[in-house]
Each structure stands twice: as structure tokens, then as C-alpha cells.
A and B are shown apart, each in its own frame.
Chain A
Amino acid sequence: MAKKKNTEEPAAQKPAGGLFTYAPAPESPAAAGDIAASYGHFIGGEFVDSSGSEALKTVNPATEQVLAEFARGTEEDVDRAVAAARKAFADWSALPGSERAKYLFRIARIIQERSRELAVLESIDNGKPIRETRDVDLPLVAAHFFYYAGWADKLDHAGFGPNPKPLGVAGQVIPWNFPLLMLAWKIAPALATGNTVVLKPAETTPLTALRFAEICRQAGLPKGVVNIVTGDGRTGAALTAHPDVNKVAFTGSTPVGRAIAKQVAGTRKKLSLELGGKAANIVFDDAPIDQAVEGIVNGIFFNQGHVCCAGSRLLVQESVQDELLAALKHRMGTLRVGDPLDKNTDIGAINSAEQLARITALAEAGEAEGAERWSPACELPGAGFWFRPTVFTGVSQAHRIAQEEIFGPVLSVLTFRTPAEAVEKANNTPYGLSAGIWTEKGSRILWMANRLRAGVVWANTFNKFDPTSPFGGYKESGYGREGGRHGLEAYLDV
């Protein structure tokens, strides 16, 4: 297989202006290790070519340079992968939990050891800043494997009765916003409970999943326990439709989730869906303002807003609106947009041209509908896909930007007068994935949390993740939980 070094130029760093300008502090792209010119699938413990000839390309969204080609998985490829997983299931599920745990602990440790390589590779393939992959994604990925490794030999005590059984072969389809983290959320609990998996990474971000396949080999994981089939939506559909798959787990958009639910309906497959969101971040007048501003920024600009639980609707009490928005805009002026591999970059590249077009269209709709648009002045690099952090004020519930998931660095600001109105507005969405509450009053946090129809409610923080905490949605944000003890249930026959 031909190898090529990754030698692209970093995109221009936004000039900070002022006296103290940070010089470029680029992480080396070479740290990502060798990226092959083309990839096949990982099936039965081997890297194999696709049965088809169609190849897709993955590009660096910060430069638009093609990083590698990868196979578009065919139905035949999926069939081979499911067969390999089925074959491996008997032995894997028969292993004592303590033995399965050893493999998971080993994988977690290898991820830690190779975290720099994985962080750089993720940043290159996804466009997210290295600061985030290094400080958030990779630590969480390792933590997830460590956490579920701990459960593998304690399933009798997980609250599902004695000796709960695995389901069999899990078909898992994951999105591009947290490629490796979503892989960890899917694979770690599945393996801990004794299932085998076929995972399809997103079509714009397959590289870290393929690198994870190497880690499975390095860890000596039995062949066929983890299979990776790359491809696009057709590949994903073939996987979720496959008759020998016992469990379907999907994270992605609500329309696709709905299609999968229809497809799976009437079969014996167990299904968990983690879909879109339009979370309300609710700021009361007694909130710790400086930290609330940080929470708002972290809620919507973290990962370029490509977060299903992003706090994309800011609900602010009218009495503090001016003060809060002034502080928020000041803070947004310090956000550094640019080269994802620069260690000082806060906001990286939008993942794809397609996503950029969608964000742009929705932002234009916001303006057309009469909301007021504001972005800090910041230079954007010439090549690549970029979008300035943007805030819309004067937004009302009827506007599209208050209803539809934008999945980009765009915040819609609405106001409320009373706690009851805040709850009403926050719940007035087809989604229900997450919500945030900012107030110094503990009793109000509890009152609100009991009334908010959202799977996760953060209090005086936002976008905090931990493997011990279950995550999942209400309504059109999906069903089933990932993480924590609850996350085991999705992979057990209970």
C-alpha cells in the first residue's frame, strides 16, 4: 500500500492584534503518523479491499487537500463484516468478563500512549482544533474504555439481574463531529457486555476509526470482534438493514434516525438513537455572569458548534440581557479562529463544504426573518471551510434559527421574564437532548431540571462529559442512553 507523508501548509492564523500577539504554535502534522493513500475495510482482524471499486475521498477541511481515499462499503462488504462479527461472537461472549476487561484496559492504555498521534490525526481529518482533541476528545476516549472495562466483570451487579446476556452483533453508525469519541461510546459498552461490532464511521472522517483498527490489532483483540466498514449513507443503510445484526446504534441526524427506526421496526433488532438537538442555555439574572459567558461560549462554539447537545438557543432573563450580551460579545472578540493544528486556536474549520453551505443558508434565513446578526471581526484563512462565530439577537420562537438545528457556531438569543416562561420556551422544540441552567439559587436549579424535557440538564456548566454519566435524548433527539450503568442496557438482552 502506497504511503504518503502529510506535508500541507497550516492555514493562516488569525492575527490577535494588539501588543501581545501570539506567534504561531503549530503542532506537527507529521505526528499524525503515516496516512495511507488509500484504505480498505477492517474485517475479521485484517485490512481488506472492498468488493466494489468505488472509492471516496476524505479531505482536510482546513486546507481542502485530499488526505486519503477509502472504500465505499458495498452490501457484500457489510455482509462479510457481519459474518466475521457473528463468527467471533461465540468465543468473545463466552470469555469471562475479567478477560474481556483485559482487552479493553489494554485498548484504553494504547489510546493514551498514542494520544498525540490520534489527536493530530483527528484534527487533520475533522477540522477541530488540536487543543480540543488533545484536552477533551482523547482523554474522554480513553476514559470511556477504562470505564467500561471496569464493568465487564461486574455485569451481575449492574441491576439487570444475574448473568445478563449480550445481544450478538451490533451494527453501529457514527457521525463526523466526534469521530473517535463516538466510536468509543459505541464500541466500549458493546465489547464490555460481550457483543461484537461492525462500525461504520462517517464519510468525511474515517481516518481515526481506521487507526483504531490498528490499535485493536496491537491489543491482540480476537479477530472479528471489531470490524470497521467505511462508506457513505448507503453503506450505513446496508449495515442497519442487515438481517443478522441484533442491535443497531446510531448517532446522527434526526431524518436519518427516523429512517432507521422505520427500517428496524417489526424486526427483533434492539435500537438506540442519539439524534439532533436545539438545546436551551438558560441564564437567570442571579447567574455568575462571567462563568455563564464562558458556558455560553463553550456551549455553542466548542467544536465549531458541531455538537448535537450544543447550547444553540440562549434564553436570557430580560433584566440582564444587555449586560450579558455585552460581556458575551467582548468574549467572542477574543476567540481565535484558524489553523486547527495551532495550539492557540479556539475554533477550527467547519467539517465539510456541505455543512458550511447548510450553516450559511440557515444564518441567511435568520437575517431574512429579521433577527440581528453579529460576529467579531476576524480574518478567515483563504482555503478551507470556515464560519465566523455568530450570534443572532432579537430572535423569536417563530424564526427558523430558533427551531432548526444549525450544527454550527451560530447562537440564537431569546429572552424570558419568569422561570415558567423559560421552561415553556426551552421545551418548545421537537428536540430534547440537553439544557443548561445558570443561577446561584440551588432550589431553582432543581425546580427547572424537573420541568425541562431534556436528557441532560447541566447546572452552571455546559458540554461537560463523563463516561460515568448517561447521555441521551427525549422526543426527536432519540432514545436509549449511552454512558454510565444505563449505557450497558443498550447492549444487553434485558
Chain B
Amino acid sequence: MGVMATFASPEVDEHLDLSAAGALDPHWQTVVWNDPVNLMSYVVRVFREYFGFSREEATRLMMAVHHDGHAVVAEGMREQMELHAQAMHDYGLWATVRRAPGA
């Protein structure tokens, strides 16, 4: 969508640019929330497998989920964050999408 807007002539429609700006807003987050069921080893495995994190980084994020109740696992454009959330749901993790606080 954002790419199409760059090909549009300037007079076509101003709101195209606005919607492109929205789609390209990089201040969205995928957040994984703590739950009492998913095993710590499983959560680390998912973070390593899906995001390609090192064991250390995956473990740090898992511990953040466990102790703080949630952790931001990705930041970027909304559509991408929704794909990550969907992937986390595929693994049985509880993930949400939000605009970065204060962004």
C-alpha cells in the first residue's frame, strides 16, 4: 500500500499520503504476556525459532515476560507487528499489538 502511494501523482489525493504515513508508522509493538501455562523452556524455544534470537536474548525476554508480566518482542510497522502476533498465537503464546507508549 505504501509503495503504491509513491507512484501516485501529487494531485491524485492527499489522503493517500496520509494513509501511507499511517502504514509506515514504525512505532508499533508486539507484546507477549505472561500466562501460567506455557513452559519457560517452550517460550525460549519459540523466541529463538521464530525471531532467530540467541539463546541469551530469548531467555532474557522470557524472563521479562515472567517477572514483569509482559515484554516487547518486536517494534516496527503495524502490519508486521500483526504478523508477529499471529505467529505467536500459532505457538499458543498470548500476544497483543499496540502503539508504542509515548510514541
Asked whether A and B interact, the reply is no
Interface residues of chain A, those whose CB is within 8 Å of chain B, are none
